[in-house]
Amino acid sequence: MSGEALRSENLRKVYHSKGAPAVEALAGVSMEVRRGERVALLGRNGAGKTTFLRIASTLLRPTSGTIEVFGYNADKTPDKVRPYIAVVPQEGKPFFHLTPREQIYSYLRARGLGRETSKARTEEALERMGLIEFGDRLSITLSGGQRQRTMVATVIATEAPLLFLDEPTIGMDPFARRAVWDSLRTLTQRGSTILLTTHYLDEADALSQRLYIIDRGTVLVSGTAEDLKRSVGGTMKVLLPDGAREIERFRSFGSCVRDAESLTVISSPERLGELMEVAVRARLTATVGPVTLEEAFLRVVGRSINEE
């Protein structure tokens, strides 16, 4: 098998439909995911994340470009790729008339795993996702979050070498989300690779070792969450609730974002003392904190929108 779990080069996908203009969902995406990595794919709605995941998971054909999973061409040899992957589809739901225990076990059996292994992994996945209590209830009686946990548990139980998770924690409570994060970390420690999409930026920050931000079918930025935060001009932010009118005083410290009366200055830790002195002289109250991935994401994607 290849050294990389996934590699795409100049991947394009154009959707054609009758009576509507063609839509270019991917406009030449190149990326690679190394074995054992957890990588997040971020972007606005319609950025092309799900299209990329569907092509990578052999469920959609690209218009052009190449994509390889463990060295196998996912477009030309999908049968060779499928044993290595497992997918949590976006908005996917388990069979309503199966219990979580039946869903996980039967899925593992359908993948070709033996009875004993399937049984053991089913129980482990139910335990990890906090589903033991609901394990024998039909999914139709479960809440949306519990159903989503069932889907994630089903895929986690495969321990497949490469997992694709399209918004895996949508609708989950904070405890369940953290259970998913822990499970995914454990899986990568055991050698699996994970590519996930999410709109929860705290999740991407906590979970991913690297991330790609895509917008309108192209990769805008790639790197670690810290790289991204630094790329927006610093890793610290100072919120000045009444600072909007004093924006000129702060421009030299980094990027400034004005929102009604308040001003947010993104700067480096080294310049924090100086910045606070200016705030005190201007009789402004200030709150200091780290730049979040969400703020960096908004800056990066917002800049891309403004550039057009």
Cβ distance to other proteins smaller for residue 155 or 220: 155
HSE of 131, CA atoms in CB hemisphere, 13 A: 34
Phi, psi (rounded to 5 degrees) for 3: -70, -25
* Pair 91, 171: CB distance under 8 Å: no
Binding window for other proteins (CB under 8 A); candidates: 160-168, 198-206, 208-216, 228-236? 160-168
Alpha-carbon distances, residue 77 vs 54, 68, 241 (angstroms): 15, 9, 57
Using CB under 8 A, which residues numbered 36 to 65 contact other proteins? 54, 57-61
| Other CB atoms within 10 A of residue 55 CB | 25
* Pair 255, 295: CB distance under 8 Å: no
Residue 185 CB, shortest distance to other proteins, in Å, is: 18
Using CB under 8 A, which residues numbered 171 to 200 contact other proteins? 191
Task: Give the single-character DSSP code of 137.
Answer: S
Cβ distance to other proteins smaller for residue 91 or 127: 91
Alpha-carbon distances, residue 191 vs 13, 116, 159 (angstroms): 30, 22, 9
Binding window for other proteins (CB under 8 A); candidates: 2-10, 74-82, 256-264, 296-304? 74-82
Binding mask 78-107 vs other proteins (x if CB under 8 A, - otherwise)? xxx-xxxxxxxxxxxxxxxxx---x---xx
End-to-end CA distance of the chain: 41
Using CB under 8 A, which residues numbered 122 to 151 contact other proteins? 138, 151
14 lines the binding site for other proteins (CB under 8 A): no
Cβ distance to other proteins smaller for residue 144 or 289: 144
Q: Token pair of 85, please? A: 């992957």
Residues that bind other proteins (CB under 8 A): 54, 57-61, 78-80, 82-98, 102, 106-107, 109-113, 138, 151, 154-155, 158, 160-161, 164, 191
